[in-house]
Amino acid sequence: MTAPRNSSRRLRSLRYSSEKMEGTGSWDVLEWTKPDQASWSSSFSNLDCLLESERITFECCGVLLINTGEAGTLLLTNYRILFLSEGTRDPVPLGTIPLVAIEKFNKTVLKAHSSRHHSTQNPPKRLLQVTGKDMRIIVYGFPPGTKQRRSLVDALLRCSNTERVWDLYAFTCGPSNFGNTNPKERLLNEYFRLLGKGSSRASMNMIEDGSFSVSNDFWRITDLNSNYNLCPTYPFALMVPKSISDEELTLASTFRAKCRLPVISWCHPGSGAVIARSSQPLVGLMMNMRSNFDEKLVASFCTQLSGHKGAPRKLYIADARPRKNALANGAMGGGSESSSNYLQSEIVFFGIDNIHAMRESFSRLRDYLDMHGTTSSDGTSSFLRHGGWTWGGGNLSSMSASVSLLGESGWLSHIQSILAGVAWIAARVAMESASVLVHCSDGWDRTTQLVSLACLLLDPYYRTFAGFQALIEKDWLAFGHPFSDRIGMPNVSGSGSFELPIQSSSASSFPSSPVRQTSGSAATQSPGSSHGLNNYSPIFLQWVDCVSQLMRMYPCAFEFSPTFLVDFTDCLLSCRFGNFLCNSEKERQECGISDASGCLWAYLTDLRSLGGTSHAHRNPLYDPSRYNGPLLPPAAALAPTLWPQFHLRWACPVEPDAAETEVQCRAMTVKHLEMKKGKEEAERKVDALSSTVESLNEELRKERNISRAAKESAKRAIRERGVISRAVQSLGCKVNFTRNGDCTVEVEDGPQRCSHSIPQKQTDVSDSISSASEEKVCEAMLCPLRAREGTCRWPDAGCCAQTGSQFVGLKANFEAFDKLSIYDSYFTAE
């Protein structure tokens, strides 16, 4: 969802007086006229905004969205309230809310102040205030003289009071295009990763056969709870110490509330430290009850420290509750551990309040944002309320008072308490290699918040899309956080159905905000109000808020963006998908949730795939190479702030313009990535050209060396040729060299002349020598090399020792010269 924008469009059925709008009379200038039903289309079945299997059950025309002063049509479907703009028929985000996301609604009648000008013209304004679980308060105005509001309330009660979980829209829609794979397989795969067995992959056959009992040196996976007989709110597979048998686990579970015995949630792959979780021990009123099996199980988390000569590691038992609350639970059989009974242990209390305090704090925060927002549920800006007293008047004392109201809500204080506890746990595990056992009362609210946030800080895998899903499915869903009770949804039996509370207030005038109840009227809430239900509490919303605080502190450490957290939270509150239905893994299995409904994770993955790397869910600043280890925030950084993308998107739609800034940032990121790719491509080309130039330079150096050596050889050859020529001529022979490298020796003996050719190649010389007796015949009769048979003994003539030795040297020189393949014409005269 995106934040609504203030529209300048005014009601066609409303006329605004030219009188100056005053703080106490701003609603009196409105005049209603009965809408023309003929101007509205009677059929909305072909709307593009309708989801699959979503059908319209009720229709109201001429409705005013008081928050923004925008007119339109209100449609009630089997999934949500859909408010369409009058002109465009586009859904207005602020006025469109899923039915399950409604916490309560009130019928209110606003009377105009009696005056001569308005007594007859301004009848009472009939309003319907809808309070959402996502921090918004919506007010719809209905034209007088009609029964639309009464009919809408009746239709809302019929649609919202679902008695069974199967009546929700998630089952009407079905799996559709977002099928849900079995979450048990994903849980086992996460266990395998933690145990260092990531190469193993879980399958349904493995689950059915019970063959998933994988282990490493210290820990193992047990199927003791495969039928949920040990603990109905725990997952089917548990990670426990390898040294503890299943029989000992069974006996240890009887000493913990709800049988939620200590089990491992996360283990450090290097140091062997673990984060374990459980419920409170049943130490009794006198705090003197003990269990040897529970003590042995907890002591087994203190494995030996590697490299410390067998020294046992420290164990911290972190009790999330205030100390006085833990002691008070002793009256009901609960309580806390004694460090004297648990080896190498230390007990720490975090002082985090219970679900009831969180529920009231969340409600006060929502009221504060509605009162002091840019546009409140009464349609009046905080700048104009009370004549400009709140913000626009510039009264510093009034500003301080409004800020103090934020502090009085206590929401940020609760966030800070949780973050401080989480940072403490992460520091003990990362810096001391200590193991930590975390629990509260039942071990499924505050315990889950602390354990999952500590894992988020310690393990960078959980800061990715896949890891974030694995973390939530492991610590929130598998370990039995009661989502149906905390969010307010029907459960399996139907006995815990969450009926939308309706409050009716008598006709009255509101000097400031029409949706504000005085301290006296607030006490008259009906017993069915969500604030009267003990189980409703925004525990998971508080955890997501803590995640957003960590993302603010470490903006480059998370693969996902704040926009992803908002869309994820909206999907959860809408119950459009079945992942977060019911209170435990056992209940979801009994209902067949994974087979009968769509998967939230598949839907979000599909959204990201359509947007590619520039999708709004992806963090453009993510740097995994920089943040590949634990995050240990200092105490000074744990001061929380309001989460703009979630807390302020309805009350202050202008403030969270981070969305627009984020769009610009993403555009710049895409451009940066394109430029980076171009730079990398240019660098590759430069490297290739550099390599080519280097190879050419190397070849040039080789050529120069060859040329230099050739010149030296040529010089030597020229000198040797001169010497040889003079030596041959001294024998009375004349040596002639041709341009093609042939050499001719002429022997003169008086008037007779004999000419002999020296072959150019070595093979030619040998052939000429071998065939000299057959082919060569001396032409001169008086030649000294002529044999009796008439054949020529050149060049093997042995009749003259001097001639023979000179010829051998001449032959060797010419052979060497011939191998160089260098011709006389190649060189230039120096």
- Which of 194, 208, 199, 255 shows the shortest CA–CA distance to 475? 194
Please, what's the b/e burial string for 418-440 (b: 16 or more CB within 10 A of its CB; e: otherwise)? bbbbbbbbbbbbbeebbbbbbbb
- Which of 470, 463, 459 shows the shortest CA–CA distance to 426? 459
The whole-angstrom separation of Cα 170 and Cα 575 is 6
**φ, ψ (nearest 5 deg) of residue 183:** -65, -20
Cα angle for residues 265, 269, 275 (degrees, 5° grid): 25
H helices of 268-343, in order, are 292-299, 323-328
Give the pair of three-digit tokens for residue 7.
């529209």
What would the DSSP string read from start to end of 725-781? HHHHHHTTEEEEE-TTS-EEEEEEETTEEEEEEEPSSHHHHHHHHHTHHHH-B-S-T
335: amino acid identity, one letter: G
CB count within 10 Å of CB 528 equals 14
Q: What is the 3-state secondary structure (H, E, C) of 683-736?
A: HHHHHHHHHHHHHHHHHHHHHHHHHHHHHHHHHHHHHHHHHHHHHHHHCCEEEE
Give the pair of three-digit tokens for residue 763.
């093979």
The whole-angstrom separation of Cα 331 and Cα 283 is 10
Kindly give the interhelix angle for 446-458 and 539-553, rounded to the nearest 10 degrees: 20
The whole-angstrom separation of Cα 391 and Cα 102 is 30
Cα angle for residues 680, 686, 687 (degrees, 5° grid): 90
Question: Is residue 442 a known part of a binding site?
Answer: yes
Please, what's the b/e burial string for 243-260 (b: 16 or more CB within 10 A of its CB; e: otherwise)? ebeeebbbbbbebbbbbb
The whole-angstrom separation of Cα 618 and Cα 681 is 25
Question: Is residue 319 a known part of a binding site?
Answer: no
Q: List strands edge to edge, sheet with 435-439.
A: 263-267, 274-277, 435-439, 315-319, 345-349
Contact 430, 632 (CB under 8 A): yes
Give the pair of three-digit tokens for residue 220.
């193992």
Contact 170, 581 (CB under 8 A): yes
CA dihedral 422, 426, 428, 434 (to 10 degrees): 120
Cis peptide leading into 527, omega within 30 of 0? no
CA dihedral 364, 367, 373, 375 (to 10 degrees): 170
Q: How many CA atoms lie within 13 A of 283 on its CB side?
A: 19
The whole-angstrom separation of Cα 826 and Cα 641 is 88
Residue with tokens 């999907």: 571
**φ, ψ (nearest 5 deg) of residue 670:** -60, -45
Q: Which positions ≥6 away from 171 have C-beta within 8 Å? A: 165, 578, 596, 597
Which one from 173, 267, 302, 440 is the annotated catalytic residue?
A: 440
Contact 746, 753 (CB under 8 A): yes
**φ, ψ (nearest 5 deg) of residue 78:** -75, 5
- Which of 283, 298, 279 shows the shortest CA–CA distance to 343? 298
Question: Is residue 445 a known part of a binding site?
Answer: yes
Q: Report helix, strand and coil shares of the chain as percent, to nearest 5.
A: 40, 15, 45
Q: Is 546 labeled as catalytic in the residue annotation?
A: no
Give the pair of three-digit tokens for residue 668.
């710049």
Burial class (CB in 10 A: 0-12, 13-18, 19+), 446: buried
Give the residue ranges of the annotated binding site. 354-355, 440-446
Active site positions, annotated = 440
Q: Which parts are annotated binding residues for substrate?
A: 354-355, 440-446
